[in-house]
Amino acid sequence: MSKKSKEHGAPATSSAQPPAGAIGTRGRTAAKSSLFGRVMLQRGLRSTAKAALTIAVAVAALLGIFLAGNRGRSSIGSDAYAYAVADPGPGAVAPPLRLAATDGGAFDLAAQRGKTVLLFFQEGLSCQPCWDQIKAIEDNPAPFRSLGIDVVVSITSNPIDLLKQKVADDRITTPVLADPDLVVSKTYGANQYGMMGTATNGHSFVVVGPDGVIRWRADYGGPPNYTMYVPVDRLLADLRAGLNIQDGSHDRSR
């Protein structure tokens, strides 16, 4: 056979084809990548499930707190000045109340037997509308007297020295009582209606009769409106309705 014939024999193996070993390595790499992806996907799904479970537990806990906190409460009205009625409510004996007052000394509710007392639990120095509320009541004493209210006091959680400065600045004559640890406020449940959670009082009114029994209560400060000021005409109307006074007269035997 000639040299030329040898050159035109069976073609040589192409250099473009990868060796058999290279194909095996590539296959194993792809398989590992696929397995890694599945593992990461499973981990992601497990993390998502755990997060969803955590959120569900948190929501359930908050709902439980809300329902527990609202147990025993009722609500009156559906407008911007609707209010709740918490415990202790009408018919219950008013819890003891003795606190330092801005007019000097201490105010003791027990010493007010024979008088009808309006307690106004409010948020304090951070709530100017609350102080405007006190001024509005001071500026309209006659309608409250016509409903049998003899004494009005306000209770908040600020220190007595700061409260004395505030009433002097605003020229408020109503006694304001200091309850810095909310000891008394908590017994009345008044700190359940504040904008700051339970750290301060909300905007609650409690009428204690001459016999020491609660005759009317309105907690205006709760959600969704977080009311911090009630027009005097509306407050008087709610008082009148709550005390069942139709003609502006009052019966101290009730």
State whether 33 and 87 are in the same domain. no
| 36 close to 44: Cβ distance less than 8 angstroms | no
**Percentage of the chain with pLDDT > 90?**
60
Q: Are strands 117-122 and 151-156 parallel, antiparallel or unpaired?
A: parallel
Structural domain range at position 119: 76-242
| pLDDT tens by residue, 113-126 | 999 999 999 999 99
State whether 109 and 235 are in the same domain. yes
| 216 close to 207: Cβ distance less than 8 angstroms | yes
| pLDDT tens by residue, 208-237 | 999 999 999 999 998 888 999 999 999 999
pLDDT confidence of 80, banded at 50, 70, 90? confident
Q: Residue 63: is its pLDDT beyond 80? A: no
| 241 close to 251: Cβ distance less than 8 angstroms | no
pLDDT confidence of 130, banded at 50, 70, 90? very high
State whether 57 and 86 are in the same domain. no
Average pLDDT, the chain: 81
Mutual angle of helices 128-138 and 232-242, in 10-degree steps: 70
Question: How many independent structural domains does the chain possess?
Answer: 2
State whether 104 and 64 are in the same domain. no
Mutual angle of helices 160-170 and 128-138, in 10-degree steps: 60
Q: Span 186-194, mean pLDDT?
A: 94
Examine residue 14 and state whether it is found in any structural domain, yes or no: no
Q: What are the structure tokens assigned to 74, written together?
A: 């009722």
Q: Span 51-80, mean pLDDT?
A: 50
